[in-house]
Amino acid sequence: AQSVTQLDSQVPVFEEAPVELRCNYSSSVSVYLFWYVQYPNQGLQLLLKYLSGSTLVESINGFEAEFNKSQTSFHLRKPSVHISDTAEYFCAVSRYNQGGKLIFGQGTELSVKP
Amino acid sequence: DAGVIQSPRHEVTEMGQEVTLRCKPISGHNSLFWYRQTMMRGLELLIYFNNNVPIDDSGMPEDRFSAKMPNASFSTLKIQPSEPRDSAVYFCASSSLQEEQYFGPGTRLTVT
């Protein structure tokens, strides 16, 4: 069975500082990997995904994540955060041929301070 | 497309009452998922459907919970009878094949 561990429950940072949100997964088979973002009182939105190909994937708002198969990690990074990036971030995995079922981590609350 | 639509957005009910949450997935998506989110337990998958057929309901907490998908454009999650510990935000999501899931805005349920 798959599992996802987000190593930090809360990450406070100052505006314009870099940030890394860590995600490790365990699975005996190949998986797809996702990062979702949840703003207060909203549903989850896809931030970026890794299905195959290049191990470095990017979002339109400056986030990137790198799939590292040997370390079973999919850490999320941004070189310079904005106040508007304050949200909860969820890492998730799904297994091939499992109908798109996602296993989510517990979430990391990113708090960007001025 | 309007995205995944959920109703109601907020529901306040008394313990023992029946609660029905509704979801309209994105047109053309063939998978539908129901999740529950609480501070204590995080985001939990309750049940999911492929082509209107329930595939995995292992996350449904008790027999008080039931879900149906009578057609490709509608699903319900019912709790009968409701209890205070059912208070949570319930999300519906839909997807196509192995693509990402699109989440609705959620229904905030409060059981008093």
Average pLDDT, chain A: 91
- For the ranges B2-6, B40-44, B83-87, B97-101, the lowest mean pLDDT is seen at B97-101
pLDDT at A100: 74
pLDDT digits (tens, 9 = 90+) for A33-84: 999 999 988 899 999 999 888 889 989 889 999 999 889 999 999 999 999 9
> In this model, does residue A89 exceed pLDDT 80?
yes
Residue of A52, A104, A106, A109 to mutate when probing chain B, most B C-beta within 10 A:
A104
Among A36, A12, A7, which Cα is nearest to A110's?
A: A12
Nearest CB partner across the interface for B48, out of A46, A101, A103: A101
> In this model, does residue B1 exceed pLDDT 90?
no
Nearest CB partner across the interface for B97, out of A43, A100, A103: A100
pLDDT-derived band at A97, boundaries 50, 70, 90: low
pLDDT-derived band at A95, boundaries 50, 70, 90: confident
Do A49 and B100 contact (CB within 8 A), yes or no?
A: yes
Do A3 and A101 contact (CB within 8 A), yes or no?
A: no
Pairing of strands B31-38, A64-68: unpaired
Chain B CB contacts of A87 under 8 Å are: none
B42 touches chain A (CB under 8 A): yes
The arithmetic mean of pLDDT across residues B55-71, rounded, is: 93
pLDDT > 70 fraction of chain A, expressed in percent and rounded: 96
Terminal Cα-to-Cα distance of chain B (whole angstroms): 36
At residue B13, what are phi and psi to the nearest 5 degrees? -145, 165
Tokens 């329930």 appear where? B54
Do A76 and A21 contact (CB within 8 A), yes or no?
A: yes
Tokens 């106040």 appear where? A83
pLDDT > 70 fraction of chain B, expressed in percent and rounded: 96
User: In chain A, which residue's Cα lies nearest the Cα of B56?
Assistant: A101
CA-only gyration radius of chain A, Å = 14
Among B71, B72, B89, B92, which Cα is nearest to B22's?
A: B92
